[in-house]
Amino acid sequence: MRTSLVNVRWRAPLTGLLVIIVLSVAGTSTPVQRLELMTADFTLYHRRLPQPTGAVVIAAIDEQSINEIGRWPWPRAVEARLIDALRDQNAAVIGFDMVFSENESQAADARFAQSMKVQKSTYIGYFFDTHLPLKAIDSLVYKTALLDPPPVVYDIVRKEPGAQPIYLSAGGYLPPIPELNRAAAGTAFLNINEDLDGLVRSYPTFISFNGVYCVPMFLALADAYLHHPPMTLTIADYGIAAVALGNRTVPVDESGRVTLHYRGPIGTIPRYSISDILNRHIPSGALAGKIIVIGVTAPGVGDRFATPVGDDFPGVEVLASAVDNALAGDFFVRSSRIEEQEEITVWALGIATILAAAYAGAGFSFVLMLLMLGGYLYHAMARMASGGVVVAIVLPSLTVVLAYLVVVSLRYIAEGRRGAFLARFLSPQLARTVLERGLADTTQQKRIQLSVVACDLRGFTSFAETAAPEDVMQFLQEYYETVGRVVTESGGSILNYAGDGIVALVGAPVARTDYAWRAVNIALEIWNRFREIMERWRKVGLQVGLGVGVASGFVTVGAIPSSDHLEYTAVGPAVNLAVRLTNRAESGQVLVDSRTIGLIGENDQSFEFESIGSAELKGFARPLEVFSARTGAPATFRRGHNADARRN
């Protein structure tokens, strides 16, 4: 059965996919959406913001004006005087961020109406009741039929094939009194959108009412300033496709909302106190040719909103910012189509992260994860900077990071356990390699050339038969630890322990280019350290020796799975030859085959090799020349006592 192996290979990536699914669902939740909005605000507004166009000025009902003129609301004679003063200073367009839905007096209303008629370009506001159906009390206040003249509406409404019904509609509106409604150049709605966290980031570009598509105040003022180019609304099968003022496109989402691009904190849009305007205390020409937006800025009076650039933002400055955006053409862009692209991106990034974390090495997968995360963030910042497109940052980033952490954790927990198991039989170095490169990569079956070191005790069988069990186990422990330490320190890996025999590999699973040299060095060092053990145990009567063999060649290495564990093994003539050389070696002798000597090379002076002749070894068809190795002399390759004879 291969159940355990399948779990190792697939449990982590399947869990990673589950993480992506969970995050995709969580992406529609209120907490994640709030976090996305906060992150977008930080990204968009913690940088240098564009300056206002200068075409929009606020006539502020501020503390100074209230102190000089009197408590707000003022008599309509004051609004009439204000319009006259603005006309005298050649204001191009005037917009009131307020509703005049109640009569004051016949004379006052007539005076105000007359000023608007003379000025010819004054717009006043109204509100829609978008809570459908209308409540009984609302029906007493809100009108369900349009006054004559009707509000400002779109000049052209295009409906593409399959256009869906418009859901942003109203059941009633609160218009100005008829006399002011007739006198104004137009009326436009003042409704504002608040996002789920209560902040104002967007404006509706239309509301459907009684079969017409009404225009918001900010578009009505911009249209008047631009000399009334045709306002066009295009409706497609997915929602609102486009809004335009002549040839100026206003970027909207599918519900017809624009995302505001605030110029800065409160007071960024130019403003003058109404008392200064009435008293002619402003610079000459300061209001000429400008759009004047009239509204309340005094704290504690009028409508105030929380925005990304201020928590107590006057409604009139929100309106003025929208007008400025319309003239500059630099609204931010948010839409469902962009969100669909982001969802595809999230899945692509998540799957790429899972595959890298599950099957690549630890270092490579970590670097790749950072590159993907950094690349996406750069892409998001570039889109925001160049086109004003608001792109999600939180969900894609969470997907990449959490998918990576979950998959890597599961992978290395599972493979670490198996690595620890293998390390008991191979080496701690192999365990580290398993943790760094992964079990699948480390134990992949392959055919490579390497060197094999085998060693076997002499006289151990008789000792084991007569000695106390605890003495036998203590000696074996010292023997195993000594050999294991030498092999590990020199870059080899223990393949197996079998009683008094040990087999080690040099060149797998940890690749080495100098595996032959390392193998001979390991063999000689094993004997040197074993002599210390041997001398210590001889003092208590134990007579043991050690033979060591080294052989090189092509070997098939890799993991062989069983039902409950993986067994790392090596198969090939070199393994058998190393064991046969060990069996032939006398105590204290290190026997080496000719291929190992050839791989070390004639120029190396670390070892001395002496031929002891040809030997017939079990399992090999023809006799093989065998060499004895030792250290401490210039590297010579002898046959018998001929120091000049070299092995080719």
123 and 268: one domain?
A: yes
126 and 155: one domain?
A: yes
Residue numbers of the domain that contains 61: 51-328
Of 422, 442, 462, which residue constitutes the final position of a domain?
442
Per DSSP bridges, beta strands 186-189 and 172-174 are: unpaired
The predicted structure's pLDDT at residue 563:
55
Which tokens is 490 given?
């020199």
477 and 624: one domain?
A: yes
In this prediction, residues 424-439 reach a mean pLDDT of 56
Cα 133 from chain centre: 44
In this prediction, residues 605-620 reach a mean pLDDT of 89
232 and 355: one domain?
A: no
User: What values do phi and psi take at 39, rounded to 5?
Assistant: -65, -40
Domain assignment present for residue 648? The answer is no
* Segment 549-571, tens digit of pLDDT: 999 999 998 877 665 556 778 89
369 and 385: one domain?
A: yes
Q: SS3 of 293, please?
A: strand
The predicted structure's pLDDT at residue 630:
86
225 and 134: one domain?
A: yes
314 and 324: one domain?
A: yes
Give residue 268's pLDDT band: very low, low, confident or very high (50, 70, 90).
very high
Residues 259 and 331 sit within 8 Å (Cβ to Cβ): yes
Domain assignment present for residue 618? The answer is yes
Cα 329 from chain centre: 31
Q: From CA 493, how far away is CA 517, in angstroms rounded?
A: 15
353 and 427: one domain?
A: yes
Residues 96 and 331 sit within 8 Å (Cβ to Cβ): no
Domain assignment present for residue 646? The answer is no
The predicted structure's pLDDT at residue 634:
40
In this prediction, residues 443-447 reach a mean pLDDT of 78
Percent pLDDT > 90 in the chain is 50
The predicted structure's pLDDT at residue 389:
84
600 and 470: one domain?
A: yes
Residues 103 and 109 sit within 8 Å (Cβ to Cβ): yes
The predicted structure's pLDDT at residue 497:
85
pTM over 0.75: no
The predicted structure's pLDDT at residue 642:
29
In this prediction, residues 349-361 reach a mean pLDDT of 84
The predicted structure's pLDDT at residue 28:
79
**441 against 472, higher pLDDT:** 472
- Least reliable range by pLDDT among 7-11, 79-83, 571-575: 7-11
What secondary structure does DSSP assign to 590-639, as a single string? EEEEHHHHHHH-TT--SEEEEEEEEE--TT-SS-EEEEEEEESS---EEE
Of 286, 304, 328, which residue constitutes the final position of a domain?
328
The alpha helices in 448-561, defined as continuous H runs, are 460-466, 469-489, 515-538
In this prediction, residues 175-197 reach a mean pLDDT of 94
198 and 293: one domain?
A: yes
Domain assignment present for residue 644? The answer is no
431 and 449: one domain?
A: no
Domain assignment present for residue 35? The answer is yes
Percent pLDDT > 70 in the chain is 88
- Residue 367 CB partners (closer than 8 Å, separation 6+): none
- Least reliable range by pLDDT among 14-18, 53-57, 385-389, 553-557: 385-389
Of 416, 442, 468, which residue constitutes the final position of a domain?
442
Q: From CA 39, how far away is CA 34, in angstroms rounded?
A: 9
The predicted structure's pLDDT at residue 426:
46
Q: Does residue 421 surpass a pLDDT of 70?
A: no
The predicted structure's pLDDT at residue 2:
41
Q: Number of structural domains, the chain?
A: 3
The predicted structure's pLDDT at residue 1:
36
- Least reliable range by pLDDT among 76-90, 150-164, 280-294, 359-373: 359-373
